[in-house]
Structures are given as C-alpha cells and as structure tokens.
Amino acid sequence: MTMMILTGNESAAWGARLSRPKVIAAYPITPQTSIIETIAEFIANGEMDARYIRVESEHSAMAACIAAQNTGVRTFTATSSHGLTLMHELLIWASGARLPIVMSVVNRAMAPPWSVWTDQLDSMAQRDTGWIQIYTENNQEVLDSIIMSYKIGEKHHILLPTMVMEDAFILSHTSEAVNVPEQKLVDDFLGEYEPAFKLEPGNAEGYGSLIMPEGPYMEFRYKMARAMDDAREEIRKTVEEFAEVFGREYAPLVEEYKLEDADAVMVVLGTIGSTAKDVVDHLREKGKKVGLARVRYFRPFPYEEIRKIARNTEMLGVVDRSYTFGYGANLYAESKAALYGHSSIPVKNYVMGLGGRDITPEILIKVFDDMLKIAREGVVDREIEWVGLHGDERWS
Amino acid sequence: MRKLTIPEEEYMRSGHTACLGCGATIAMRYVLKALGKNTILSIPACCWAVIPGVYPRHNLEVPLLYTAFEVTGAAVSGIREALNALGKEDVNVVGFAGDGGTADIGIQALSGAVERGHDIFYIMYDNEAYMNTGIQRSGSTPIGAWTTTTPGGKKRMYKWEPKKSVAEIMVAHHIPYVATATIAYPEDLIAKIKRAKEIKGPKFIQILSPCPTGWRHSPDKTVEISRLAVQTNAFPLYEVVKGTYRITVKPKKPKPIKEYLRLQGRFRHLTEEEIEMIQRIVDENWRELLKKERCSQEVKE
C-alpha cells in the first residue's frame, strides 16, 4: 500500500491500472480528459500493459469496448456529459450483450447553455440503460469502486457493466491523500478475467442476432432484470471481502450517517454527502436531530434501505443535483416510489446545485431547518422545491 | 482438365433469408471463400443483419458480432486490439457493412478506424441504397435513380446528386489497400481479397452488389447487371496499392450506359437527355480514373 496525493481523475486512472484491462478505448472531454491522459502515460511508460484505441468519438469508444470485451478481454473507458449521452445507444447495447465493461463518468452539466461544472443529469439520463451506477464521495472511493466494479460485474450470474461516477472538479480536479493498494492484492482479489463467452474462430457463434417476438427476447431482458436485482447481494458480499483484503470499509448500497433518533434524514448522491455530514455534526451539536443517507448505488436502487431508513425517522428530504422535467428528480421520485405502501412520512424534493452552483453548508443548514419544520408539522408545503434560485429570498 | 479458380470450400451454408437473386449474398460467399475459416465478422444493421437467419441459428461457418448501424469501424478496431492482446494476430477481422452503414452513418467510425491503421478488412457491399429498410436513398445511390425517398412524383424528385465515392475517400486516408469489385467477376474479387490478406493494416474493398428488389430487375439478371456495370464503366474495377492505381478489368470498347440502365426499373423514368447526362458523368469519371492510373504508375516508375 502506498499513500499518494491524487485527483479524482488520477484515482480513476489508478483504479483502472490496478484492474489490468487489456483494451482501453477513449476520447477526450472536459473534465474527464486527465483520466485518459494519465492512463496514456502509464502505458507509454510501460507501467500498464493495455492496447489503447484513441477513437474518434465516445460513441466509437463504447462500440470498441463492446467489441473488445466480446472478444474476451477486460476493457475500460471514461467519459462525461455530452460524451456519455452520445454513447446512449451503445450503453444499452453493452448491458444487453451482458458485457461487464467498467467506465468512469465525471458528472458534468449538459448544454445548452455550455457548462463544464458538476450536475448529474448526464448519468441520470442513463438510468434505464441496464448499467450498475455508483456515485462516489471522495477519491479513495473512486479508486476502490472501479476495482470492485470489475469484481461484481464479472460474476457470471451478474454480467452487467458499471459506471463509476465522480462529481466534476469537486473530485475530478481536487487532490486528496489516497491509499493505492498493492498490485498483487488487487490481482488476487480480481483474479484473471474469465469471460462467460467470446468470439473465437472455430466457434461459429453469432452475438446479437435477429430475434422474433416468439423468440427469447423477453427472457433475455428478464434475466438482465434478475441480474440487476442479484447485484445487490453481490455488492454486499464484495464490500465485505474488500474490507477484509484492503482494510477499508464501505456501506454496501447506502451510507448511513447519524440516523439514530433522527427526526429528519437528508438523502443525497455524491459529494454533497461530505458537506452534509459536516452540517449534520454542526446541527447535532446544537441539539437538532438530523441524519444523512448517502445513496452510493442508484442502480440497482436500494429500495429496502430507503424503507428501513423511513421506518426510523419522521421525514425524508431528498436532494437531487439534476432534474427530470415532468415530476420531481430521479432520486426523489424513486425514493418516494419505494416508500409507497410502506411508509406515510412526508418526503420533499430539494433540487439544487445544477450547472455546478455551489452547495454550501449555509444552504444545507436552511434545508435541514425546513426539513425539521416539516417533520414537526407533518405537512409538506411543496413537494418539489428549487433551492437557491436567483431572487428567491427564502434561501439567500 | 480445367483448373478451379474459385476455392471449393464453403463457409456459407444454405438456408439464408435473402431475397431471390441477392448480390450481397453472393458477395459474402466469395469473401469467405477467399478469407477462410480463421475469420471473425462484424456486421452492423443492414441486409446482412437479417440474411444469416433468426436466433439461435445462422448460416455462416465463422463467428460474428452484430453491432449497431454506425459502429463497424469501431467494432473491428475493438476486436482486432483484443485479439492482439490475446496474441492472436493471425485471425482475419472483417467488417461487412452495407453502403448506408459505410458511406453515410458509419463513415466517421470507418474513417477513424482506417486512420488509426488497425489490421482489419472493411468490406462495403454496395447495393446503392438502404435496402434492408426498403430502398431509401443513400449517399451511394447513383445519379438518376428512383428510391422510396426519391420517388419522382410530379416534380421528378429522383436522386439527382452523383454517387459518393467511398473508395476514393479511403484512398485519401493513405491506407495500404483499396479496391472495388463486383460479383460478376469472382476471380477478380477473390484475387483482391487474397492480395489484401498479404497486407498488414486497413484494407477497404467496395463490392457492387445488385439488388433485384431495390434496383427493380428480374432476379435472374443479377450477374448480368453486375457485369454490365463494369462493361459500361458505371462501376470500374480497380485497386490502389499504396497510392498506385491499377484498373483490373478494362473494357476494350465500353458499352453505352443505356444498356446498363435499361435493365433496371429504378432508371425507367429517365429521358434521353438525362441518360446522355449520365453518360457524360460516366465518361468523365472513367477518364479521371485512367489519369490516376497513368499518373500514379508513371510517378511510381
């Protein structure tokens, strides 16, 4: 184990390097670029043994990863924002082809207007692509999650791809002390890649061929659905095994922070978690009973964990750093759906931080106060609230 | 005793689902005969995504990866690099895509793949329109043709733009091997694939593949029309090896383009003036090709 000072992007590159993918196919985009630059340096210096395809688009990056992984090797790529949405068609292809590709995603706002700062609409818009989705809070979690994603996805009863999210700049370009594990430990933890199937001469299989309505199309999709469900248990097992080998513990799907006797619990994704933990400590000192649930895995969705949390509190405030135009943002809508018939506590959606707008402790203190008021009164004033809009006195 | 010029081995079984008289099916059969069994195919959305048959069966003796419409170039890049990482440099990696998937939606991935120099074959089977979706105009549809998106009508809205030359676009990428071929000249086609096999790097071969359904001709005319395409200079057969052009089949006295056009319903509406205009374009293109051949060979010598 070596302690290094790494940015989130360098941590992602190290996570990839230690997992020994044989093919990398990648295309630059701000703020992801330093991941693929760091990997290029590893390969150029002979520190990493992988074929590096410098494709002409993200669409081709995913297509090349699909084809390479289907030929029987571990692959890796990284992208962000418009690059991720350009891949959309092939994200669905990758999961449908049951290829456990691992991809780093740096969450960045979608244009227009142009913005390179953090916002989670890019990956939220990939919610239904059949990829496992994990949102990370710090650079150590970025590195460790990439290694664990190979382990989970490659299990033959899972065979699903994973995207590992990090918030733009807040993680991607911020340096932290990161434990970089020994290669030997990672090799033992992951083992050699054993594909469930592969393209090879002498075995005239066709992958992805035409299927009629009476054929097993629906059964293939059902198996994917079951695999995504089974991934919950595999994640639980893997974080335990990881802790034994590497000595770092992760909550499986949802990290719970000071939930005991909490009157109101904030539910978040990504780096908002760090700020919110500080705010929880601060408010607890003042005698306010608040807690935090940081959802790590958004796919598969941790509906059981959300129900359990709701059983022991009076109110959930769900923070989303993206919006799905129609009715509420994803983390809110899915949390609420998970609770239907299981809990009648108030749930409110706080939409904030879009386009990289800073989410400060001051803002979160106000949100917690609003949540505690709802917990006391048992009434939600408005279901969905945009926090911190210009000219809105309430939050300024 | 006659010497067989076409390999006897078959890598395409019967039972495909192509239309009667399909040129693209004949093209696949010859390509596989030339390449042999040590081959992996990648096929995007196109007629050939359907021709092998319905899951779980397919009629080829080689493994194949079906992919999205526009990704053949990227897919063959991925297969190639994965095979190289596994130490299997000897396997032929072949993209087999239609003209829409090559000249239009797939040209970005194709350009990227050949520019990067992967050791791959890219076969464009050119049936000159989006045939699998039912005969829509592509960039490779020839001038004057009827298609369902250039249906004529009162305004005579046919395809009035000349055919895009993907082979020349490939030449501009300075790749080691570019060729055109067609199914009426199987020895020429197979010789080109075999020559390409000896060359490391990206190889591009465009095979004109008549489509009775879309070209509106009788299925028994497929080979005849393919031959006329060469004899009228509508589709010259040539190869470009490291920039040097060689026309491989040179008609002594080219037949008038009218003989090629009149067998196909897609050109039935053309007036005499329009046919003359097409003749002028064919003649111009032929002269240009002769110049390229002469110049590149002179400079080479």
Domain identity same for A282 and A320:
yes
Helix runs in chain A, H state only: 8-19, 33-44, 58-70, 81-86, 88-96, 121-124, 139-153, 183-190, 217-246, 272-285, 303-311, 330-339, 361-377
CB B51 within 8 A of CB B96: no
- Confidence grade of residue B300 (pLDDT, cut at 50, 70, 90): confident
**Secondary structure (H, E, C), A175-213:** CEEEEECCHHHHHHHHCCCCCCCCCECCECCEECCCCCC
Question: Does residue B46 fall inside a structural domain?
Answer: yes
Asked if the model's pLDDT at residue B1 lies above 70, the reply is: no
Give the domain extent around A87: 2-246
- Whether residue A59 has pLDDT greater than 80: yes
Task: Kindly report the length of chain A.
Answer: 396
- B108 in reach of chain A (CB within 8 A): yes
**A70 at the B interface (CB within 8 A)?**
yes
Other CB atoms within a 10 A radius of the CB of residue B300 amount to: 11
Token readout for A390 is: 């210009």
Of all residues in chain A, the one with the smallest CA distance to B57 is A206
The verdict on residue B205 lying in a domain is yes
Mean pLDDT, residues A254-260 taken together: 97
Residues A124, A201 within the same domain: yes
The DSSP call for residue A56 is S
- Asked whether residue A62 falls in the same domain as residue A196, the answer is yes
Share of residues in chain A with pLDDT > 90 (%): 98
pLDDT digits (tens, 9 = 90+) for B67-124: 999 999 999 999 999 999 999 999 999 999 999 999 999 999 999 999 999 999 999 9
Do A43 and A105 lie in one domain? The reply is: yes
For range A234-240, the mean pLDDT: 98
Whether residue A206 and residue B85 make contact (CB cut-off 8 A), yes or no, is no
Domain boundary among A226, A246, A266: A246
The pLDDT-based confidence of A394 (bands split at 50, 70, 90) is confident
Asked if A260 and A344 sit in the same domain, the reply is yes
Position B209 scores a pLDDT of: 98
Please tell me whether residues A115 and A159 are part of one structural domain: yes
Q: Which of A246, A276, A303 is the last residue of a domain?
A: A246
Q: What is the mean pLDDT of residues A335-347?
A: 97
> How much is the average pLDDT of A125-146?
98
pLDDT of residue A396: 75
* Shared-domain flag, residues A297 and A233: no
pLDDT at A353 over 90: yes
| Pair A123, A218 in one domain | yes
Q: Are residues A198 and A337 in the same domain?
A: no
pLDDT bracket for residue B187 (50, 70, 90) = very high
Q: What is the pLDDT of residue B77?
A: 98
CB-based contact (8 Å) between B63 and chain A? Answer: yes
Q: Are residues A182 and A276 in the same domain?
A: no
Is residue B218, in this structure, part of any structural domain at all?
yes
Same domain for A98 and A127? yes
Q: What is the ipTM of this complex?
A: 0.97
CATH of the domain at A344: 3.40.50.920
The answer to whether residues A271 and A213 belong to one domain is: no
Domain end marker among A229, A246, A263: A246
Q: What is the number of structural domains in chain B?
A: 1
pLDDT beyond 70 at A80: yes
Whole-number percent of chain B with pLDDT over 70: 99
Q: What backbone torsions phi and psi does residue B17 show, to the nearest 5 degrees?
A: -110, 20
Q: Domain containing B135 — which CATH number?
A: 3.40.50.970
Is the Cβ pair A63, B116 closer than 8 Å?
no
When CB atoms are compared, the residue of A63, A73, A209 closest to B82 is A73
Does any domain span residue B10? no
Q: Please check whether residue B1 lies inside any domain of the structure.
A: no
> Residue B301: which pLDDT band, with cuts at 50, 70 and 90?
low
Question: What pLDDT, on a 0 to 100 scale, did the predictor assign at position A395?
Answer: 85
Q: Give the pTM.
A: 0.97
Q: Is residue B9 part of a domain?
A: no
Q: With an 8 Å Cβ cutoff, are B76 and A212 in contact?
A: no
User: What is the rounded average pLDDT of the residues A300-324?
Assistant: 98
| B3 — pLDDT class (breaks 50, 70, 90) | confident
pLDDT of residue A184: 98
Residue A155's pLDDT band, with cuts at 50, 70 and 90, is: very high
Total domains present in chain A: 2
pLDDT over 80 at B143, yes or no: yes
Q: How far is B192 from chain A (nearest CA, A)?
A: 22
CA distance A218 to chain B (A): 13
Please report, for the domain that includes residue A238, its CATH number.
3.40.50.970
Alpha-carbon distance B116 to nearest alpha carbon in chain A (angstroms): 8
CA nearest to B300, candidates B237, B238, B240: B240
Question: What is the span of the domain harbouring residue B208?
Answer: 23-300
Residue A2 in contact with partner chain B when CB distance is under 8 A: no
Token pair recorded at residue B179: 């060729």
Examine residue B5 and state whether it is found in any structural domain, yes or no. Answer: no
